[in-house]
A and B are shown apart, each in its own frame.
Chain A
Amino acid sequence: MEFQSCFDIIGPIMVGPSSSHTAGVVSIGRFIYELLDGCPEEANIIFYDSFAETYQGHGTDKALLGGLLGMDTDDSRIKHSIELASEQGLHYTFELEDHCSYFEHPNTTIVTARHGDQVVKVGGASLGGGLSKVFMIDGEMADIRLSTSDDFSVIAKNYHEQKMSKVLVGEL
Chain B
Amino acid sequence: MDIQSMQELIEACEQEQTTIGEMMLMMEAEKSGRDKETIISMMEERLIKMKEAIDSGKEDASAAPSGISGGDAVKMSDYERSGKPLTGNYISQAMTFSLATSESNARMGVIVATPTAGAAGILPGVLFSLHKNDGTPYKELVMGLFTASMLGYVIANRSFISGAAGGCQAEVGSATAMAAGTIVELKGGTPKQVVHATAIAMKSLLGLVCDPVAGLVEVPCIKRNVIGTSIAFAAADLALAGVESRIPCDEVIEAMYKIGKEMPRTLRETALGGLAMTETGKKVKEELFCRKI
Contact flag A3-B269 (CB < 8 Å), given A16-B104, A18-B118, A130-B113: no
A127 to B162, CA, bound (A): 7
Q: Does A2 contact B (CB under 8 A)?
A: yes
Is the contact region of chain B dominated by helix, strand, or loop, or is it mixed?
helix
Question: Which among A9, A17, A49 is the interface contact of B217 at CB below 8 angstroms?
Answer: A17
A21 to B108, CA, bound (A): 12
Whether the Cβ atoms of B148 and A74 lie closer than 8 Å is no
Q: Measured between C-beta atoms, what is the minimum distance from B102 to chain A in Å?
A: 9
Q: Which of B92-100, B151-159, B232-240 interfaces with chain A?
A: B151-159
A167 to B272, CA, bound (A): 47
Number of interface residues of A (CB under 8 A): 45
Taking CB atoms, residues of chain B closer than 8 Å to A4 are 31
Q: Does A27 contact B (CB under 8 A)?
A: no
A130 to B114, CA, bound (A): 10
A7 to B215, CA, bound (A): 26
Taking CB atoms, residues of chain A closer than 8 Å to B113 are 10-12, 14, 19, 23, 129-130
A78 to B65, CA, bound (A): 14
Q: Can you name 25 A-B pairs with beta carbons within 8 Å?
A: A1-B157, A2-B156, A3-B152, A6-B153, A7-B46, A9-B153, A10-B123, A11-B113, A12-B113, A16-B104, A16-B107, A16-B110, A16-B120, A17-B106, A18-B217, A20-B163, A23-B113, A49-B265, A50-B270, A57-B212, A57-B216, A58-B216, A78-B108, A107-B165, A129-B113
Partner-A contacts on B (CB < 8 A): 2, 4, 24-25, 28, 31-32, 39, 42-43, 45-46, 49, 66, 104-118, 120, 123, 145-146, 148-150, 152-153, 156-157, 160-165, 170, 178, 212, 214-218, 265, 268-272, 288-289
